[in-house]
Structure 1
């Protein structure tokens, strides 16, 4: 069995270790973290990450924060496989980038595109013909209706709903439980039912 190093030892590392093991193709060798807060995750040792001193042939990123996940991804030069849980439904016409994670009971419908290092979390649903950008996080129990476009780095918060044919900009945040009924601009944070802009950043997510 191939070994793999995981970058990031926070809460999401527990889910990713279990996901990787459940597929039986890789065995996590170590978790690398700049500020380790624990000695191991489900028996996988957590080591201090010091520059690029750790050699590995394959890598995965267990960082839920989209901006931080992008920073780490940009520093990795080895292949980052996709991991799709056996209980998830991902139709044959779906296009996956690299480093994509699809967790238990998620549904990714026909003709969807998932960008690099995007996470589709437990029980999330991405309906047909959606385009999900790089470094997005589609959180637990979300529902993205057909024909939507989600820009790079956007967080679709837990339990939120996005109505059909809408465009959500890059590095936006959809607050948990929100119902999005109109387009969301870049860098905006929206919340509520219907979702309204409560904050707009000027950062570019780099």
Structure 2
């Protein structure tokens, strides 16, 4: 495990071989698997679970309620949300759960709305806005994200 001295990592649940780069914040209850790469300028909240071999590129904030399985790629500045009706200083009893399944890839600047599931090995195109569940191996693009085709297995 390598944690850059200019990061703020409070969690002790970080797997072997994981690298966390400068200006990253990882809150105390976050769980991060083995061999992950958490790039600079990222935030991982408390109620977050990352599997093994996950790549989180710069500018990504992973909020409470996000579950990311093994071998997922999250491109730069991808945006997650966890509340469908946000109001300042008004929090839900529990945030919606968003699940990113094994091997999924999320392109740069994509937005993932709360409570959706991205299927295994799916791919979300850069800049897309995901408003509903994405099937396994599907390629989706646009706003809202629309199915293009299935990817090779």
TM-score w.r.t. structure 2 length?
0.79
Aligned to 1:144: 80
Question: How many residues matched?
Answer: 131
Alignment of 1:18-97 (within 5 A): 22=4, 80-97=16-33
Q: Which has the larger radius of gyration?
A: 1
How far apart, CA to CA, are the structure 2 residues paired with 1:22 and 1:128?
23
SS at match of 1:186: coil
Counterpart contact for 2:17–2:36, Cα < 8 Å = yes
Which ranges in structure 2 are unaligned for 5 or more consecutive residues?
A: 7-14, 83-96
Q: CA RMSD in A?
A: 2.1
Work out which structure has the larger RCO, using CA pairs closer than 8 Å and 6 or more positions apart in sequence: 2
Give 1:86 deviation, angstroms: 3.2
Say if 2:36 and 2:54, in contact at 8 Å, map to a contact too: yes
Distance across 2 between alignment mates of 1:110 and 1:163: 19
**Aligned equivalent of 2:127, options 167, 174, 177:** 177
What is the deviation of 1:175?
A: 0.2
Asked if the contact 1:189–1:199 (Cα under 8 Å) also holds between the matched residues in 2, the reply is yes
The structure whose residues are more often helix, as a share, is 1
Tell me if the contact between 1:128 and 1:145 (Cα under 8 Å) persists in the aligned partners. no
Give SS of 2:147's match: strand
Question: What CA distance in whole angstroms lies between the structure 2 residues aligned with 1:154 and 1:166?
Answer: 13
Partners of 2:69 and 2:3 in 1: CA distance: 27
Shift in Å, 1:80? 4.8
1:185–1:89 Cα change, 3 Å: same
